[in-house]
Amino acid sequence: MPLIDYITYILGIYGLSWIITQSNLFYNIRNYIESFDFEFINDLIGCIVCTSVWLSAFFVWFYFSNEVWFTKLLIIGSTTTTTWALAQALNDVED
């Protein structure tokens, strides 16, 4: 796994998570989904770190298809940790 692929993957997951949980682009979609009162989904789209876990778990199978399963788990964990660190540093976490 080349380092540039790993960095691109991490930044891509962070970007997608931010778009889903924070952006004005998805504001109306988030409000519509929250109107159904599904606690799990509402928590998911309101938390950038939670969203990054599920996005990473989905996309790791496509982006790193040649890696063994335990490497994929490590990638998911490191992506989540990096998302948390970036969200803390950029103040993208709700208090």
> How many of the other CB atoms lie within 10 Å of CB of 86?
19
Span 3-27, mean pLDDT? Answer: 93
Cα torsion for 61, 66, 68, 72, to the nearest 10°? -40
Give pTM, 2 decimals: 0.86
Q: Is the pLDDT of residue 6 over 60?
A: yes
Q: Give the span between the Cα atoms of 60 and 92, in whole angstroms.
A: 23
pLDDT digits (tens, 9 = 90+) for 19-76: 999 999 999 998 898 888 888 888 888 899 999 999 999 999 999 999 999 999 999 9
